[in-house]
Amino acid sequence: MNDSLPITEQENPRSARLDELSPLEIVRLMNEEDALVARGVERVIDEVARAVEGIVGRMSAGGRLFYIGTGTSGRLGVLDASECPPTFGVSADLVQAIIAGGYDACYRAVEASEDDRAAGGRDLQARGVTGADAVVGIAASGRTPYTAGALQHAQRGGAFTIALTCVPGSELTRFADVSIAPMVGPEVITGSTRLKAGTAQKMVLNMISTATLVRLGYAQGNRMTNLSARNAKLQERAVRIISAEINTNEAQARAFFTEANGDLRVALLMGKAKVTRAEAEQALATAGWIVGKALDSISQKSTESRKLAADDFIP
């Protein structure tokens, strides 16, 4: 083992004779190695929580969240960002992903683009990233020039910066307010960071986006109350959420959903606050389309109206 190399590039002695193993032995070995990923992520949970707190702070003040990376790391950022609008009903602008080489790199390798250090900063600049935003640089080795250059640019501009890597103390961490570096060890195929390192990065990105958007109010309990119901499966899920949230039967839940023109947020507010669709839409627009905030606003107005009415009858 060459200790001068990042751990993501070192050889794994357990898989040294991988090509001599049977299919069962190969997949069993991979499964055993994958079991190390969750443990590695567990050791950096505090850092993940700090990152979430910082991102929530920026986004609460109107900022956005950006992921940036190359190759597998960049693709994982694109995957996580693309899931936020349908899951949480947020604008596609709120959580964005940038991958070296552009979106063509999502389905074909353009790995040479990762060597252009200045390109990372230019790509952030093209998206209008400012000091109000949060930027997560994703690089398994922590030394990818494109990603390091991007995070350095973001830090200089005052953005809240997070390094997501599998090599503690790597260059990427120098430009981060919070460094998240789960140690997962060498890969079964030497240097193939789409394996354990990629799995660790995906786990952390899931945590970051989910915890952030839940804290911002885009879920109630563990239910996707801002779900964008764009197909039959999601429409049925929306009906179940309405039924559970307002404690009614399926038929009534479906009626609310239909009356709300298929907008789960509107249906929930109509059912919970006993308001019209127009009133629900207005309250949601004022509350940034967050169901809990809109409900609180309607409840407060109702309380104030009752108090005023009571005051009118005081002799």
225 residue type, one letter: T
Distance, in Å, from the CA atom of 76 to the CA atom of 80, rounded to the nearest integer, reads: 6
Token duo for residue 20: 């001599």
**Would you say the C-alpha torsion 112, 75, 41, 59 has a positive or negative sign?**
positive
Q: What is the dihedral of CA 94, 100, 105, 108, to 10 degrees?
A: -160
Which regions of the chain does DSSP assign to beta strands (E)? 65-69, 95-99, 134-138, 160-164, 178-180
What is residue 39's three-state secondary structure? helix
Crossing angle of helices 264-273 and 291-312, rounded to 10°: 30
Strands 95-99 and 65-69: parallel
Q: Concatenated DSSP letters for 77-135?
A: HHHHHHHHHHHH---TTTEEEEETT-GGGGTS--GGGGG-HHHHHHHHHHTT--TTSEE
Residues with catalytic function: 83, 114
Distance, in Å, from the CA atom of 212 to the CA atom of 125, rounded to the nearest integer, reads: 24
Token duo for residue 190: 């030497």
| Residue with the two structure tokens 């949480």 | 88
Distances 196 to 39, 45, 80, 234 between C-alpha atoms, Å: 12, 17, 17, 31
